[in-house]
Amino acid sequence: MISKSNFLLTLNQKFFLKILLIVFCIIPIFSGINSIPPLDRDESRFSQSSYQMVESNDYINIKFQDEIRAKKPIGIYWLQTFSAKVFGIDNISSYRLPSTVAAFITILTLWFFSKKIFGRKVALLITLLFSTNIIFVSEAHIAKTDTVLLSLICLQQYLLFLIIFEKEKSYKFDYLIPLLMWLAISAGILIKGPISLIIFLLTTIFYCILRKSISILKRIKPLMGLVIAAITLLPWIINVEQSTDGSFLYKAMQEDFIPKLISGQEGHGAYPGFYILFSTFILWPLACFLPISILFVLQKKSNSAIQYLLCWIIPYWLIIELVPTKLIHYPLPILPPLIMLISASLLFYEKNDAIIKNMKIKNLFFSLSILLGLGGVIFGCILYYFAIKFGNSDNYLLFIISIISLLIFLCVFIFTTFKNYLLIFTPKFTSSFWKFCLIFKNIKFLIILISINYFFIFSFILPSLEKLYPSKLVFNELKNIKYESISSVGFHEPSLVFFLKGNIILSNSHEGAIFLAEGQNNLVLVEERSKNEFEIFAKNLELKLKEIKKIEGFNYSKGKNIKIYFYKSIH
């Protein structure tokens, strides 16, 4: 019988674990969402389009300035406009908040999901480890579709798991869970098109094949799904098609979806194997445990829950490897099951010896783990280089913090390498030094280190890389210049449009010269590569140009150093 004091202690422990979960999940995903300037290019396009929705009070049509933006469905714009109306339409953080909140919802869903498969104690560590993933944390800071989509995919896959594995016959599992699942799938389609449906279908079909049973197909209630999808999607689709004369879906298919399938869209093409090659970055800090997790999966391959997670991962991974367009965040929808398996294997082999009898295989596993663990060190070196190249030379604190960040990345690499050594070789230490080192094998030490590092990166390092944000430099200079209207020649980055809330004309050299001639107090921004051509056109129009300012920065969207000149005409 449990005594009252032990019962209270147990309650306090559970409460402490929940608080720990919340704190260490909040630190990485909420740090810096207001201090990092608007990013190019997708974030600023989404944010500006949402801003225009609020300003125009048109919540059906998606536009970036005067152009129809048919890249993604309406869902993310509705979330961003709601957030902007509540928290302020001028701050970039208002548009990022849906992604940040969605990241937190993903973490909570993963907690319940992991608990269902592996139990409470393992689920806590899985959730904390997931919250340290660099791609997940980075996407949580960006006002785009991907993190919101991830939260819905994680929810739909959890509900599908309950439908498959809960054998109880009740209203809850026969109707309520399928209803919620189809709502999540439909919402996912409204956020980013068919991705959520594709993952759902692939998981279901491959699991049916693996289990040699189609009984699941009846339990997921496909007819209910069709009805819910129709109710959820058709009203907006009909309205947007009517208001754009049927051009929205055509543009979406022709300019976004199909080009990604047949070629590397916007220069983002790569060969199959790209994501495996870059897994050291995609799965950091847990990439180094991939070799040991493969062993875990092979040992547990008959477990139906492990099979379900593999059916979620493998088919989608193969598809994104085959699709020509490659972006580092495309594996995001399968990060939850991947990290669940890696984390579970890590915790399993802490208590059970890895059965690897061949020393050559042990050495191979350890060598691979070292290579896969280098992603963080590379990240740290890149950040330090960025601090030197793009930071203010007088900002000594930036250099100190970037060095500390690099040292933390190195510590994580040493920690994970040591951890892998323990798991793969299972040594028996006798010296006092090595026994002391065993103190640091606790995985919570890794979580604390990484959370602190993310705070440094997102709250201080990235916001301090001033030259990396030329649009912000331009915007700061414009505060001190009086002008009536403004045009930009050559520099057409969406972040500048967002800073100026659409009140800018993006033009070529000829149009910029004419714009300057037509106004008494107009201002033209000219990027260096367009400067000579602009001056020739201005000379032809007999304009007397006055260069009033020049800024220098780095356009990371094009990978080029740039100079932007501020021109007025002397009348």
What pLDDT score does 8 carry? 45
Residue percentage of the chain with pLDDT more than 90: 69
pLDDT score of 305 more than 90 = yes
Q: What is the mean pLDDT of residues 388-394?
A: 89
Nearest to 512 by CA among 537, 539, 545: 537
User: What are the strands of the beta sheet with 560-569, ordered from one edge?
Assistant: 505-507, 486-489, 523-527, 560-569, 545-555
Query: What three-state secondary structure class fits 222?
Result: helix
Least confident segment among 355-359, 366-370, 404-408, 519-523: 355-359
Q: For 155-212, write each residue's pLDDT tens digit.
A: 999 999 999 998 777 888 888 999 999 999 999 999 999 999 999 999 999 999 998 8
Q: Is the overall model pTM greater than 0.75, yes or no? A: yes
pLDDT category at 394 given cuts 50, 70, 90 is confident
Residue 9 reports pLDDT greater than 70: no
Helix 335-351 and helix 304-322: axis angle, to 10°? Answer: 130
Residue 430: pLDDT band with limits 50, 70, 90: low
pLDDT at site 3: 52
The Cα 131–Cα 154 span in angstroms is: 14
Written as one string, the DSSP assignment of 92-144 is: HHHHHHHHHHHHHHHHHHHHHHHHHHH-HHHHHHHHHHHTT-HHHHHHTTSSS
- Average pLDDT on 246-271 reads 70
The pLDDT-based confidence of 251 (bands split at 50, 70, 90) is confident
- R_g over Cα of the chain: 26
Work out the average pLDDT over 432-448. Answer: 70
* pLDDT value, residue 1: 43
Indicate whether 441 pLDDT > 90. Answer: no
pLDDT level of residue 261 (50, 70, 90 thresholds) = low
Q: Which residue reads 């230490």 in tokens?
A: 429
Tell me, what's the pLDDT at 519?
85
Rounded Cα–Cα distance for residues 296 and 427 (Å): 19
Give the C-alpha separation, 106 to 148, whole Å. Answer: 9
Q: How far is CA 13 from CA 23, 137, 152, in A?
A: 15, 27, 31
What is the chain's mean pLDDT, rounded? Answer: 89
Range 386-395 average pLDDT: 90
How far is residue 520's CA from residue 569's CA, in Å, rounded to a whole number? Answer: 8
Helix (H, G, I), strand (E, B) or coil at 319: helix
When pLDDT is averaged across residues 437-450 and rounded to a whole number, the result is 76
> Mean pLDDT across the stretch 376-390?
95
Q: Which amino acid is at 153?
A: I
The pair of structure tokens assigned to 319 is 């598809």
Largest CA distance in the chain: 96
Mean pLDDT (whole number) for 210-225: 91
Range name among 19-28, 196-205, 543-552 with the lowest pLDDT average: 19-28
pLDDT tens digits for 340-373?
Answer: 999 999 888 888 877 777 888 889 999 999 999 9
In this structure, what token pair is assigned to residue 212?
């040699």
Q: Helix, strand or coil for residue 272?
A: coil
8 Å CB contact between 131 and 109: no
C-alpha angle 522/480/66, rounded to 5°? 45
Give the residues across from 325 on adjacent strands: 269
Q: Which residue would you say has higher pLDDT here, 266 or 529? A: 529
98: CB partners within 8 A, 6+ apart: 76, 79, 80, 83, 143, 148
Give the pLDDT confidence of 56-65 residue by residue, as tens digits: 999 999 999 9
pLDDT at 437 over 70: no
Structure tokens at 448: 């604390």
**What's the 3-state SS for 51-68?**
HHHHHHCCCCCCEECCEE
User: Any residues with CB less than 8 A from the CB of 536 and at least 6 apart, and which?
Assistant: 509
- Specify the pLDDT at position 7: 46
How far, in Å, CA of 72 to CA of 51, rounded?
16
The amino acid sitting at 512 is G
Q: What is the mean pLDDT of residues 227-246?
A: 92
What pLDDT score does 431 carry? 63
